[in-house]
Structure 1
Amino acid sequence: MKLRGLFILAVTLLVPAIASAQEVRLQAIFGSSAMFEVDGKQRLLKSGKTSPEGVTLVSVTNDHALVRIDGREQKLTLAAPVAANYAKAERAEVRLNPDSRGHYSTTAWINGRRVNVMVDTGATSIAFNYPTAKSLGLDLSRARPMTVSTASGVEKAYRLQLASVTIGGITVHNVEATVLGSDFPTVTLLGNSFLSRVDMQQQDGLLLLRARN
């Protein structure tokens, strides 16, 4: 019995403990596999496999990877590639890279519908052009009419509340938005009605958005 106990102890010491991942980023999708950066190390995982840090690739499709970290599942896409930092805090985080002009753009889900947005700290609210608002199914009949001054002059606009705005794992409810009655702006602006309700920080050229507790 003593020898058996020593053997079990030896085996236990030889088995490495699975650490809890601090940061997980989706880098690429290859069929049934996905490449991740886990705590600064690249890990290529097949569906159903687990990294040494405890990140399990549950499933993968052409546009997203479903991972399990510390017993919780999260969907990662190439547009929103960063998982919530489970080991440090239960706050979702999104990291945005600047484009060649220094602008930060990403994909948002507005009232459950997908739209490309550009971060604009100079915009009071989220701002749509009229065609985008119609394509998102926004009901302008219940919006408050108003006028706004733009570079091309005074334009008719509408003020309304969005039920939800989601970027990555960050969701904010009841967000004010403005719809201009023209093709301006050419891209939807992610303004301060959303940005003021998340924590925002620039780090090494990246723009970090974090959900508030």
Structure 2
Amino acid sequence: MRNRLKVLCAGALLLACATSWAAAQVLVVGLFPGAAVLNVDGQRKLVRVGQTGPGGVVVVSADSRGAVLRVDGVERAYSLSREYSEGFAEPSTRQLSIAKGIGGHYWVAGSVNGHPLQFLVDTGATSVALNDGHARRLGIDYRVVGRPLQVSTASGTVRGWRVNLNSVKVGTLEVLGVEAVVLEGGSPSDALLGMSFLSRVGWRVEQDLLVLESKH
């Protein structure tokens, strides 16, 4: 009787452990050379190669294409937002994690009206801001479709045109009908991803990551 009870208890313990293991949710929500952003049961952290993240998950290798993680002693390749437990559906909220770059700035590859463009994220800019060179490459005839205005910059007052962009996209996050300002000349040297886009998605800073998130 005692032996049978021990077997039953051991079986119950194994079942509880298996249930707990099966419920674990491991997501790779950001990929960078030598590091990955992990989301383990809702706990998000940037983990570099060789380090251990939430839930004891170890990042074995990582680049922009994927990561190899060691979970419960088993190594497995992950692509972006792939789930370790297949019992969970893909999250309906889309997210993009951007690592801090040179000079403490956040850079992200995106597109405007379907044309590729590199952005510097600027939470202090009220609108997406482009120079006239950006506008020409994007096929925006801002002097025809835009509304003229004067813009104060660090170099003084310059002429600008307020335009409406059909779409601005970074990662899987796309916003339609985004207000932008095109400035005459070469300033700003980098296209600025300002609040006319950011205010229409959720954004926050976690450690050295800028996290953008779609709104429902």
Which bracket does the TM-score occupy, shorter chain normalised?
A: 0.5 to 0.7
Deviations 1:108-136 (A, max 9, x none): 11111111111111111000010111011
Alignment partner of 1:171 is 2:187: no
Aligned residue identity for 1:109: S
Percentage of matched positions with identical amino acids: 34
Q: Distance in 2 between matches of 1:204 and 1:67?
A: 20
1:26 aligned residue (28, 31, 45): 31
Mind listing any 5+ residue stretches in structure 2 that lack a counterpart? Answer: 1-14, 41-52
Q: Distance in 1 between matches of 2:205 and 2:25?
A: 26
| Residue matched to 2:150 | 147
Q: Distance in 1 between matches of 2:120 and 2:30?
A: 21
| Residue matched to 2:125 | 123
Aligned residue identity for 1:91: T
SS at match of 2:30: strand
Deviations 1:29-48 (A, max 9, x none): 9xxxxx9766454377999x
Alignment partner of 1:203 is 2:216: no
Q: TM-score, normalised by structure 1?
A: 0.65
Q: Distance in 1 between matches of 2:211 and 2:29?
A: 14
Aligned residue identity for 2:181: T
Q: Distance in 2 between matches of 1:22 and 1:173?
A: 28
SS at match of 2:176: strand
How has the CA–CA distance of structure 1 residues 103 and 132 changed in structure 2, closer, same or farther, with 3 Å as cutoff?
same
Q: Distance in 1 between matches of 2:176 and 2:133?
A: 23
Deviations 1:72-94 (A, max 9, x none): xxxxxxxxxxxxx965x411111
| Residue matched to 1:137 | 139
Report the Cα offset of residue 144 of structure 1. Answer: 1.2
| Residue matched to 2:5 | none
Alignment partner of 1:90 is 2:96: no
Aligned residue identity for 1:129: N
How has the CA–CA distance of structure 1 residues 150 and 24 changed in structure 2, closer, same or farther, with 3 Å as cutoff?
closer
Q: Distance in 2 between matches of 1:92 and 1:160?
A: 27
Deviates more, 1:97-106 or 1:116-125: 97-106
Q: Distance in 1 between matches of 2:123 and 2:32?
A: 28
Q: Distance in 2 between matches of 1:179 and 1:189?
A: 11
Deviations 1:168-199 (A, max 9, x none): 11111100000001100010111110111111
Is residue 28–residue 81 contact of structure 2 (8 Å, CA) maintained in 1? no
1:189 aligned residue (170, 192, 195): 192
How has the CA–CA distance of structure 1 residues 126 and 36 changed in structure 2, closer, same or farther, with 3 Å as cutoff?
closer
Q: Distance in 1 between matches of 2:106 and 2:89?
A: 25
Q: TM-score, normalised by structure 2?
A: 0.65
Aligned residue pairs, count? 176
Which structure has more helix as a fraction of its residues?
Answer: 2
Deviates more, 1:196-205 or 1:124-133: 196-205
How has the CA–CA distance of structure 1 residues 69 and 137 changed in structure 2, closer, same or farther, with 3 Å as cutoff?
farther
Give the greater-gyration-radius structure (CA).
Answer: 2
Deviations 1:58-103 (A, max 9, x none): xxxxxxx788669xxxxxxxxxxxxxx965x411111112224221
